[in-house]
Amino acid sequence: ADRLQRRFLQPDSERAANRAHLEALAPELLARFPGTALASDQPYRELDLAVDYREDVPDLGPSTADAVQAAFEEAGATAKVSDIHVNGWFGTFDKLTGCRRLVRDRWGEDLDATRDRWVYVGDSANDAPMFAHFPHTVGVANVREFLGRMSAHPRWITEGAGGAGFVELADALLAGRPGPTGAL
């Protein structure tokens, strides 16, 4: 149980075909959107293509991120804008689909039946399915820039961005007190 375990929603053959399609799409996207790059962790990704628009490249702004997302969608992929990348993949899964599977396989629990026992923390538009599903949700401060493009929002947004926001949440939980306006 201490070894890395991988579980996929798609069969091997479908994943291989999707990977080939993403690999063919990558140079097209990079040529179409100068200044973007593949995410530095792309060699370790199995299911998506992550186009960096502001992590290791100069910040290209939300209009570039939106255009990259549209290009993924024109190619038939699902795409979501995160805080630093535009992630594209072939399939109908998202973070919530994967989380349901993980909780069922790892702990034998029905995530829908136990959703009030979890706190979800996110930072961008690709977290909207999780924010919609869970009653206890937190966005770190950088989520504010994505609120206008999200179908669901976190119940509490921290003052701190990134890791500092996560620490803020952890401190609130450890202190046994709810966040502002009783969010937790």
List the structure tokens of 142. Answer: 């950088």
**55: pLDDT strictly greater than 60:** yes
CA dihedral sign of residues 115, 178, 155, 55: negative
Q: Is the pTM of this model over 0.75?
A: yes
Supply the mean pLDDT for the chain: 93
* pLDDT value, residue 177: 62
Give the tens place of pLDDT for each residue, 123-152. Answer: 998 899 999 999 999 999 999 989 998 999
The DSSP H or E segment spanning 165 is: helix 162-175
Distance between CA atoms of 182 and 155, rounded to whole angstroms?
9
Distance between CA atoms of 121 and 124, rounded to whole angstroms?
10
* pLDDT value, residue 127: 94
**19: pLDDT strictly greater than 60:** yes
* pLDDT value, residue 184: 53
What are 78's strand-pairing partners?
89
* pLDDT value, residue 3: 86
Q: Where in the chain is the domain with CATH 3.90.1070.10?
A: 12-89
Contacts of 12 by beta carbon, 8 Å cutoff, 6+ apart: none
Residues in the chain, total? 184
CA dihedral sign of residues 43, 45, 50, 54: negative
**182: pLDDT strictly greater than 70:** no
Distance between CA atoms of 46 and 178, rounded to whole angstroms?
38
Give the tens place of pLDDT for each residue, 141-180. Answer: 999 989 998 999 999 999 999 999 999 999 999 888 655 6
Give the tens place of pLDDT for each residue, 25-45. Answer: 999 999 999 999 999 999 999
* pLDDT value, residue 42: 98
Kindly calculate the radius of gyration of the chain based on its CA atoms and give it in whole angstroms: 18
pLDDT category at 1 given cuts 50, 70, 90 is low
Distance between CA atoms of 6 and 68, rounded to whole angstroms?
29
Q: How far from 89 is each of 23, 49, 121, CA to CA, in Å?
A: 11, 6, 22
The top-level CATH class assigned to 12-89 is alpha beta
Q: Cα dihedral angle (178, 102, 134, 82), rounded to 10 degrees?
A: 90
* pLDDT value, residue 48: 96
Q: Where are the beta strands (DSSP E) in 18-72?
A: 37-38, 49-52
The DSSP H or E segment spanning 173 is: helix 162-175
